[in-house]
Amino acid sequence: MNTSNVELPTWIEVVLIPLLNIFLALVFSGLIILAIGEDPIKAVGIMINGAFGYDEAIGYTLYYTTNFIFTGLAVAVAFHARLFNIGGEGQAYIGGLGVGLAFLLLDKHLPALLLIPIGILMAAVFGALWAFIPAWLQAYRGSHIVITTIMFNFIAASLMVYLLVNVLIMPGSMSPETREFDTAGWLPFMHELFAWFGVNITRTPLNMSFLLALVCCVLVWLYIWKTQWGYALRTAGHSEAAAVYAGINPKRIVIIAMCISGGLAGLVAVNEIMGVHHRLLLNFPAGYGFTGIAVALMGRNHPLGILVASLLFGVLYQGGTELAFEVPKITREMVVAIQGLIILFSGALALMLRPWTVRVWLGLTRQSAT
């Protein structure tokens, strides 16, 4: 029976099916943990406690969440224009370069009130520029954006290694990283922010970019669904022919969507560089750009869904760290495997349970109808 065109109530689509998927993933993960002779219930307990149990855990979870919101939104905006931006990783990396260059030049001369907006702007602009080139190639030369954005990740990595090893490196340093920026460019940590109001919480990498991420969620939602530009973008995404018919230039949409996408990915640098490390260093995007694809997929490309999916991935990262920390037998490779299973079930196999759910739902409703 073909069930794909049967409409289900929203709460089943958005809440029940994702929960079932995560449950299924946990069952499989439990089997693996069982196989190495550990208690799966205890492991899940450690993960959840490690992600939510105390203020430090929550801080780390939300710190990861921040990165995923940025990259998830980046993928989603591009996706609404039917573009698959695989280049979040490189765009985040180059976004970091923007922050780094600005701060190396300016951090001694400007106050925080100017420096921080400049840093955020530079992260977004550099990320956008890095996405602009593949976008232009797609729009005007027909080079497939999936291929070019992947290649641009490698180019970004090479460029950053070159710059950090040869140009921007702090003289005499062993590590390929710049000097530490002046504190004027540091985005306040949340524990600092809370301390201003007399609330003491444990120090974590969570910083004000989390608030920026939440603002971005709202802005993206407004942009996509409430503005005429978002309307044009979605029209082009759904049907290029319809866009042309409506007088929308699909090439321009490709450029605009990718630049917004790249800018959002570039904001990862605000969290990592301005918020946490306070210096430009190698490999800070650490795969967040790629994970953003899974986040967007799970979040159904909607800011609210992306927020929830980012939180889930934050939990997975932070809970997984605690799990590897507390249970020596569970190595980080196993943690990756468990994370992978959850991504697999809630992303790639998201629709696996749907036909079954549809049948159960139809069965139930038919009974109640008669």
**Hey, which residues between 98 and 127 contact another protein (CB under 8 A)?**
none
Shortest distance, CB of residue 205 to another protein, whole angstroms?
5
Q: Give 205 or 262: the residue with its C-beta nearer to another protein.
A: 205
φ and ψ at residue 290, rounded to 5 degrees:
-70, -40
Q: Give 27 or 246: the residue with its C-beta nearer to another protein.
A: 246
340 lies in the site for another protein, by CB under 8 A: yes
8 and 358 Cβ atoms separated by less than 8 Å: yes
Q: Which stretch binds another protein (CB under 8 A): 119-127, 186-194, 211-219, 342-350?
A: 342-350
54 lies in the site for another protein, by CB under 8 A: no
Q: From the list 32, 48, 169, 350, which residue makes contact with another protein (rule: CB under 8 A)?
A: 169
154 lies in the site for another protein, by CB under 8 A: yes
The closest of 213, 205, 185, 184 to 276, measured between CA atoms, is 205
Q: From the list 190, 232, 256, 306, which residue makes contact with another protein (rule: CB under 8 A)?
A: 232
φ and ψ at residue 227, rounded to 5 degrees:
-110, 160
Residues 6+ apart with CB under 8 A from 14: 300, 305
Number of residues binding to another protein, judged by CB under 8 A: 73
Residues facing residue 90 across a β-bridge? none
- Taking CB under 8 A as the rule, which mask of x and - marks residues 79-98 in contact with another protein? ----------x---------
305 lies in the site for another protein, by CB under 8 A: no
311 lies in the site for another protein, by CB under 8 A: no
Q: Give 19 or 348: the residue with its C-beta nearer to another protein.
A: 348
Q: Give 114 or 158: the residue with its C-beta nearer to another protein.
A: 158
Task: Report the site for another protein in 276-295 (rule: CB under 8 A).
Answer: 276-277, 279, 281-284, 286-287, 290-291, 293-294
Q: Helix or strand or coil: residue 14?
A: helix
21 and 361 Cβ atoms separated by less than 8 Å: no
Residues 6+ apart with CB under 8 A from 113: none
339 lies in the site for another protein, by CB under 8 A: yes
Q: Give 129 or 316: the residue with its C-beta nearer to another protein.
A: 316
**In whole angstroms, what is the distance from residue 370 CA to residue 365 CA?**
9
364 lies in the site for another protein, by CB under 8 A: no
What is the DSSP code string of 74-143? HHHHHHHTT----THHHHHHHHHHHHHHHHHHHTTTS-HHHHHHHHHHHHHHHHHHHHHHHHHHHHHH--
Q: Which amino acid, residue 287?
A: G
Q: From the list 37, 142, 171, 198, which residue makes contact with another protein (rule: CB under 8 A)?
A: 171
